[in-house]
Amino acid sequence: MFDNREIASLIWITVFAAWAITQPRVRLGAIGVIKAALDWKIVLVAFLMAGYITIVVLILFQTGAWELVNIKPTIIWAFTAGLFMVFEVQEITNDDRYFWKAVIDGLKISAILEFLINVQVLSLPLELLLIPTATAISCAAVIAESRDEFRDVRALLKGAMTLLGLALCAYAAWRIYIDFDSFATVSTLLEFLLPIVLTFSFIPFLYCLAAVVSYENIFVRLRTYPKT
CA distance 209 to 185: 37
The 3-class secondary structure across 67-117, one letter per residue, is: CHHHHHHHHHHHHHHHHHHHHCHHHHHHCHHHHHHHHHHHHHHHHHHHHHC
Count of other CB atoms within 10 angstroms of residue 156: 13
* pLDDT tens digits for range 92-124: 666 666 666 666 766 666 666 555 556 667 888
* Helices 186-201 and 40-63: angle between axes, nearest 10 degrees: 140
Contact criterion met (CB below 8 Å) for 109 and 84: yes
Predicted TM-score of the model (pTM): 0.69
The helix/strand/coil state of 55 is helix
Q: Per-residue pLDDT for 159 more than 60? A: yes
* pLDDT tens digits for range 20-74: 888 787 777 777 777 777 777 888 888 999 999 999 999 999 988 888 888 888 8
